[in-house]
Amino acid sequence: MYKLGIIGYGGMATYHHNAIKQHFAGKLEVTAAFDIDPDRLALAKNAGLTVFENAEDFLNSKMFDIVLVATPNNFHPHYVISAIEHGYNAICEKPVAITVKEFDSMVNAAKKHGKLFSVHQNRRWDRDYRIVKEAIDQGLIGKPYAIESRVHGQNGVVHGWREFKVAGGGMLFDWGVHQIDQIIDMMGSEKVVSVYANMHSVRTPEVDDYYKLILRFESGMTAQIETSTYTLVQQPRWYAYGDGGSLVIEGWDCRGKIIRARDHVMNWEPVVVQTEAGPTRTMAPRPAETLEEIPLPSVDPHWTDYYTNIINVLDGKDELIVNEINVRRVLQIMEAAFESDRTRSGIACQI
């Protein structure tokens, strides 16, 4: 059985603790926690963990094989490298680091000490995302030429340390990681050849609380990625357009549909058609009988599949799913996005 110690016993750490308790009995157990906040340590103690008030005692305790770092973002590199240097495997919450350079130093430490190092990019196991990926993999919308991924909130509030730049705050570091990770996972090894980003601080002075990214892939496919914390009329979570159909997923409950054309050849009137949009043939509505609706594919992923993979890797039975290559690509794209927003121009790249 593997044992796990947690640095930063906050909101997300309690998710990890509960999920491990519920799903991995006999395989993985959380044994200890270190936090700078006595109230959080009291909670951890109540939940049955051995608690530590300083990092050194925690890291010297040898009460675990894996350290999970779930502090605010700016502390991730320091704690991950310390854990690895003390002989532990390391799992880090996302975003793993603020810069690619920091991430590379974490990877180097893991390689030097021969330790597993992974990042909890758990939304690769979101059901909405997996439906879109499955539909595209099965060719249900043909060859995709545009994908839109949106996360819309209404409250205009970025909470706690996420409000501050020094902590690695802002929505691109918070949600952007997941959205970019999903898109590059969906596109496999196809490279991103340009990144355009426009970011706003609508109600949060120091960091972005809105961003729109446009990633262009080698094939010309574009992914539009948007997160807003202040969108009072909200748009669907996903749109995907292919040369054989269109897909929509409305929200987290995964209601949605795929619409396909029954035939690709239609006989249009040779003259301009009067429509509600005015005289236009191109934008005239399609006759209903030329369309078909098919159900979204069914999938059943769980965030805990992340830990199943970690255990299998430690047992020597599997490859790491969230690995150095894809985590690094996400960070590179985020760096390009900040640069694009700063320079108000698209950034050509090969990521």
Site of interaction with ligand NAD (CB under 6 A): 7-13, 35-37, 40, 70-73, 75, 93-94, 120, 122, 160-161, 174
Q: What angle do CA 261, 217, 213 make, to 5 degrees?
A: 95
Closest to ligand NAD by CB, 72 or 346: 72
Strand partners, 242: 144, 245
CB of 40 to ligand NAD, least distance (A): 4
Determine the residue with CB nearest ligand NAD. 10
Q: Where are the beta strands (DSSP E) in 222-305?
A: 222-228, 238-242, 245-249, 256-261, 274-275, 278-279, 291-294
Distance CA 325, CA 301 (A): 22
Closest to ligand NAD by CB, 52 or 196: 52
The secondary structure of 76-124, three-state, reads: HHHHHHHHHHCCCEEEEECCCCCCHHHHHHHHHHHHHHCCCEEEECHHH
Closest to ligand NAD by CB, 71 or 89: 71
Closest to ligand NAD by CB, 9 or 338: 9
Q: Which helix (H) or strand (E) holds 19?
A: helix 11-23
Closest to ligand NAD by CB, 167 or 221: 167
Tokens of 154: 């209404």
CB of 94 to ligand NAD, least distance (A): 5
- Do 203 and 179 form a contact (C-beta atoms < 8 A)? no
**Of 73, 60, 224, 75, nearest in space to 144 by CA:** 224
CB of 13 to ligand NAD, least distance (A): 6
Distance CA 16, CA 5 (A): 11
Closest to ligand NAD by CB, 6 or 28: 6
CB of 59 to ligand NAD, least distance (A): 12
Closest to ligand NAD by CB, 13 or 248: 13
CB of 108 to ligand NAD, least distance (A): 21
Closest to ligand NAD by CB, 247 or 254: 254
CB of 125 to ligand NAD, least distance (A): 10
The DSSP-derived string for 149-211 is EEEE-SS----GGGG-GGGT-SHIIIIIHHHHHHHHHHHTTPPEEEEEEEEE-SS-SSS-SEE
CB of 75 to ligand NAD, least distance (A): 5
Closest to ligand NAD by CB, 12 or 259: 12
CB of 67 to ligand NAD, least distance (A): 12
> What backbone torsions phi and psi does residue 47 show, to the nearest 5 degrees?
-85, 5
CB of 11 to ligand NAD, least distance (A): 3
Sheet with 117-120, side-by-side order of all strands: 50-52, 28-34, 2-7, 66-69, 89-93, 117-120
List Cα–Cα distances, 319 to 48, 74, 90, 93, 324, in angstroms: 32, 28, 16, 19, 12
CB atoms within 10 A of CB 137: 12
Distance CA 100, CA 108 (A): 12
